[in-house]
Amino acid sequence: MTNLALLLLCLGLGAALRHGQLLPANAAGVLNQLLVLVLLPALTFLHLAEARPEARMLLPMLMPWLIFGAGWVFFAALGRRLGLARGTIGALILTGGISSVSFVGFPIFEMLYGAEGLALGLVMSLAGSILVSVTLGVVVGSWYGAARPTWRGMLGNVLRFPPFLAFVAALAAHAVGGYRHPALLRGVLERLSAPYPVIALLSVGLQLQWRVPAGRARLLALGLSYKLLLAPLLIAAVYVGLLHQHGPATTVCILGAAIGPMNTAAVIADRYGLDPPLAAQMVGLGIPLSLPLLALLAWALR
């Protein structure tokens, strides 16, 4: 439960610092630059270079990609129909399509299924949520953040995105075969990436507005309805209804789909100018709202 307590504390502290005007107005932007340029690349290479997904982990590995792809189609179609701004659509895709698996999911999965649940969560995070955010997440940020997007411009943004370069380096390490971080490199990467969750959540808290303006209520309702309700229903329909899969892996995937938005999604949205206030509220409100839903869902699935 330490992760959940830290999550709520950092969000609240960031919001308090903003409300008290104790930091410069651009503090969140500075923190986001630090996250993207230093901390997230270190975190990405630290974990992905040594990740060894197994066949039995295929279900949790695919779940984040499925809900992100479905969310992209859902929000793009809905956004066009409602005449939403491109940045707003992009923010909804990012925050509605990526779950905060590591912060919220790990303690819940371990509590329900012990070491097996934690292993499933690790694969879901490393080969799923983190990988989605530094690949397709950057594609969405580039595409919806540009007034006149082009494939060349989008590709350039992806190739220049430091966490994506760290992902490419991790793939190169995999090509070596049996790669393991040298002790010195591991120690450096662990220390560089350790502040990531605290700083990312403080950044979200600095951008968070607890009062929801009338014009934003509908957008938040749409985004959170997909993230907290439609996404787990989709995974249940595909995994149980179509694939006839049962057991801990399936349960963990359904729960993972119902977790609130990942804080990295809000960081990417801010970097590309995709309605940062909406993205911050999706994370700041979505995670607390997902907790009672997860408790109810875990009880029903067991």
pLDDT at 254: 95
pLDDT at 56: 63
pLDDT at 36: 79
pLDDT at 155: 79
Domain map of the chain by residue range?
A: 27-301
Distance of alpha carbon 170 from alpha carbon 164, whole angstroms: 10
Question: Is 126 exposed, middle or buried (CB count within 10 Å of its CB: 0-12, 13-18, 19+)?
Answer: buried
Question: Is 144 exposed, middle or buried (CB count within 10 Å of its CB: 0-12, 13-18, 19+)?
Answer: buried
Own/partner contacts of 111-118, CB < 8 Å, gap of 24 or more, are 112/248, 112/251, 112/252, 112/255, 112/298, 112/302, 113/248, 113/251, 113/252, 116/248, 117/248, 117/252
Distance of alpha carbon 290 from alpha carbon 20, whole angstroms: 28
- What are the φ/ψ torsions at residue 146 (nearest 5 degrees)? -100, 140
How far, CA to CA in Å, does 148 sit from each of 85, 151, 152, 154, 196? Answer: 13, 10, 11, 11, 32
Q: Are 145 and 134 in contact (CB under 8 A)?
A: no
Residue 99's beta-bridge partner residues? 261
Question: Is 80 exposed, middle or buried (CB count within 10 Å of its CB: 0-12, 13-18, 19+)?
Answer: exposed
DSSP 203-218: HHHHH--SS--HHHHH
Q: Average pLDDT per run of 10 along the chain, which is 302 residues long?
A: 72 82 81 83 82 74 95 96 94 94 77 77 82 88 81 77 83 81 92 84 73 81 95 95 89 93 88 89 86 86 77
Distance of alpha carbon 144 from alpha carbon 94, whole angstroms: 11
pLDDT at 251: 93
Distance of alpha carbon 166 from alpha carbon 40, whole angstroms: 9
- Single out the residue of 8, 38, 68 nearest to residue 189, CA to CA: 38
Q: What is this structure's pTM?
A: 0.80
pLDDT at 170: 84
Query: Which CATH number, 1.10.1060, 2.40.170, 1.20.1530, 1.10.3470, labels domain 27-301?
Result: 1.20.1530
Q: Are 131 and 167 in contact (CB under 8 A)?
A: yes
For residue 236 the two structure tokens come to 């249940």
pLDDT at 210: 67
